[in-house]
Amino acid sequence: MNSILVNQNKPENIRKLKAQRQLYREAKRILIIQIILTVPVTIIVSLLKLYLKDNFQIDISQYAALYGIGLSLIDIIFFNTMIGTYRTDAAKIQEEFDCDVYDMEWNKIFVEKKVGIEIINKYSKKYVSIEAAPLNDWYPIEINASSHRDSILICQKTNLYYDSSLRKKYKTASIVISIITLALLMIISLSTKTSVPNFLVQVILPFLPVFVLTFKIIVDHSKAIKAAIDLHQTVGNIGNLHEAPSIHSLRKVQDKIYCHRKDGPLIPDFFYNKKRQKLEGEMHTNVSSQE
């Protein structure tokens, strides 16, 4: 059997997958808190503001505006820093998994130090398995008939296609939610026949965190999608050569994949799990067509 298919299911490598997935999960929890504070809470604050003003003549518009500005600052200073730390450690562990599975040398210059075994053990123990997202057979069994270097190339292409497809769907969903949120805020404001200055306070400032988050999602994921597509084409060109790809070329591709994982914006687990089955079906079809 192909050594990649054997190596990926070894206990020590399954432990790495558990650790990297748990680290991503920790980062995504922060992302979820960020999204909740940005979208649902923004709408609730606006509804509360309208209710208090109509029923008790209490105006909290200034506090709602302050909430919007404060949340935008917290996003930049706290949330993004914490997410970046977890994501980098997860990317390094996933890189170590790939190197072990591919029998590929670790790039000490580009990736630098490996994550300590203590961190791997800590987060792998915290990981709770999800039946819908198993860790065994991480890479498709369809590579079994391919040579070792061709198999690595197929696995790399698989990673990149899966990533870009998921990001496109998430970016679209984020834009739709942002537009719906803005529409709700406008409806709430217009229902009170507000003046232009009050419209600024009641709609624009409360919408600021939603806009900042959505804009960041669009920009970050657009960059990640373009990088994944460009790298996927590069990998495809390597695979179109008449001879097997060199380990040197594969190592260069792997360096770029690591960088893509380390810097790539996160996608919440609930969205990933919803799209997982369809994307994996496409993945197996694509791999089979390369055989």
Q: Dump pLDDT digits (tens) for 82-136.
A: 898 999 999 999 999 999 999 999 999 888 899 999 999 999 999 998 776 788 8
- pLDDT, one tens digit per residue, over 142-182 is 888 888 998 998 888 888 877 888 898 899 998 998 888 78
State residue 20's pLDDT score.
95
Q: In angstroms, rounded to a whole number, what is the distance separating the alpha carbons of residues 94 and 89?
A: 9
Q: In angstroms, rounded to a whole number, what is the distance separating the alpha carbons of residues 260 and 231?
A: 10
Asked if 114 contacts 91 with a C-beta cutoff of 8 angstroms, the reply is no
State residue 38's pLDDT score.
77
Token pair listed for 242: 């008449």
Mean pLDDT of all residues in the chain?
Answer: 83
Between the CA of residue 263 and those of 17, 73, 104, 111, 258, what are the distances in Å? 19, 21, 22, 13, 9
> Nearest 10 degrees: CA dihedral of 76, 29, 204, 186?
170
> 20 in the Ramachandran plot: left (φ > 0), alpha (ψ -120 to 50) or beta?
alpha
Pick the closest to residue 251 from 145, 38, 102 (CA basis): 102
For residue 47, pLDDT over 80 is answered with: no
Token pair listed for 83: 């997410």
State residue 185's pLDDT score.
73
- pLDDT, one tens digit per residue, over 231-259 is 878 777 776 655 678 888 899 999 999 99
Q: In angstroms, rounded to a whole number, what is the distance separating the alpha carbons of residues 157 and 76?
A: 33
Q: In angstroms, rounded to a whole number, what is the distance separating the alpha carbons of residues 8 and 62?
A: 55
**Residue predicted with more confidence, 168 or 186:** 168
Answering whether pTM is above 0.75, one says: yes
Q: Return the SS3 of 242.
A: coil
Token pair listed for 276: 């997982």
